Amino acid sequence: GAVVSQHPSRVICKSGTSVKIECRSLDFQATTMFWYRQFPKQSLMLMATSNEGSKATYEQGVEKDKFLINHASLTLSTLTVTSAHPEDSSFYICSAPDSKQGLNTEAFFGQGTRLTVV
Amino acid sequence: TQLLEQSPQFLSIQEGENLTVYCNSSSVFSSLQWYRQEPGEGPVLLVTVVTGGEVKKLKRLTFQFGDARKDSSLHITAAQPGDTGLYLCAGEAAGGGADGLTFGKGTHLIIQP
């Protein structure tokens, strides 16, 4: 199957600093990528849809100035958590759909990033 | 907005028992996928069901897509401790494309030895 690589897998930062998370599709082009947040023992919560070459689409309640998304190429999307606060501590996961012609879309997930803001 | 109701949200059973996880919606999906996620990892696709009434088997796991393509179930036979994890169902809206998947809330499964 397709491979999506997410980096870093774990990061600890000080309150007030910014953290960048990268999501790469390694063997396919992804015009769209999705960013999720997951709290302990809960399901995935979609934060935003990243679109190559255009602005990201944010879900209701997600601050676009807080969570900056850049999808500059067909294989890379980045999520920057700006001015991080302890409440931003969470598990962030990206995914990219690999739509094969005539087949259904399957989502391939990155390994996730555990962000801890201290 | 399409919603997927997944149940149960939490299940703890003994090794060797059988279990079923349900995923229900009032909406029709063009396909439905089941994922398994281990702590600290991203979800991994287990199976995709596409045709109404379709049944797929993956070793001790049996997946079924409802005839109307609004619901799905995952049945595990003789559960093993290695089956422990978070199971997520996700539906693709009719029309497909890059509109994303709608996820259920997940089922946390613990298999006790």
Provide DSSP, B93-109.
ETT-SSS-EEEP--EEE
Query: Which residues on chain B are in Cβ contact (under 8 Å) with A34?
Result: 100
Q: Residue range A6-34: average pLDDT?
A: 93
Query: Based on C-alpha coordinates, what's the Rg of chain A?
Result: 14
Q: Note whether B58 and B82 are within 8 A (CB).
A: no
Q: Which residue of A has its CA nearest to B103?
A: A44
The mean per-residue pLDDT over the stretch A14-38 comes to 93
Q: What is the dihedral of CA B10, B16, B18, B19, to 10 degrees?
A: 10
**Residues of chain A positioned with their CB less than 8 A from the CB of B45:** 1, 106-108
A-B CB pairs within 8 A amount to: 68
Q: Which residues pair with B85 in a beta bridge?
A: B109
Cβ neighbours of A110 in B, within 8 Å: 42
Determine the average pLDDT of the residues in A60-77. Answer: 93
Q: Is the peptide bond before B113 cis (omega within 30 degrees of 0)?
A: no
Residue A36: closest C-alpha in chain B: B42
Encoded tokens for A107: 């989502």
Least confident of A3-12, A41-50, A65-74, B77-86: A41-50
Residue B90 has pLDDT above 60, yes or no: yes
Which of A35, A104, A72 is closest to B47 using CA atoms? A104
Report, as an integer, the average pLDDT of A57-66. 92
Whole-number average pLDDT of chain B: 89
| Interchain contact, A99 vs B30, CB within 8 Å | no
Residue from A105, A106, A109, A115 to probe the interface with B (highest B Cβ count within 10 Å): A105
Residue B68, exposed/middle/buried by CB under 10 A (0-12, 13-18, 19+)? exposed
Q: What is the mean pLDDT of residues B82-99?
A: 78
Token pair of B17 as six digits:
């028992």
Residues of A in contact with B92 (CB under 8 A): 104-105
The 3-state DSSP class for residue A101 equals: coil
A63: closest CA of chain B, how far (Å) = 20
- Give the mutation candidate from A21, A37, A42, A43 for the B interface (greatest B CB count, under 10 A): A43
Which pair of tokens denotes residue A9? 């897998």
- Residue type, position A105, single letter: T
Check pLDDT > 80 for residue B97: no
- When pLDDT is cut at 50, 70 and 90, the band that residue A102 belongs to is very low
**Pairing of the two strands A4-7 and A19-25:** antiparallel
Residue A27 has pLDDT above 90, yes or no: no
User: For residue A104, what pLDDT band results from cuts at 50, 70 and 90?
Assistant: low
> In the predicted model, is pLDDT for residue A113 greater than 60?
yes
Q: Give me the percent of chain B exceeding a pLDDT of 70.
A: 92
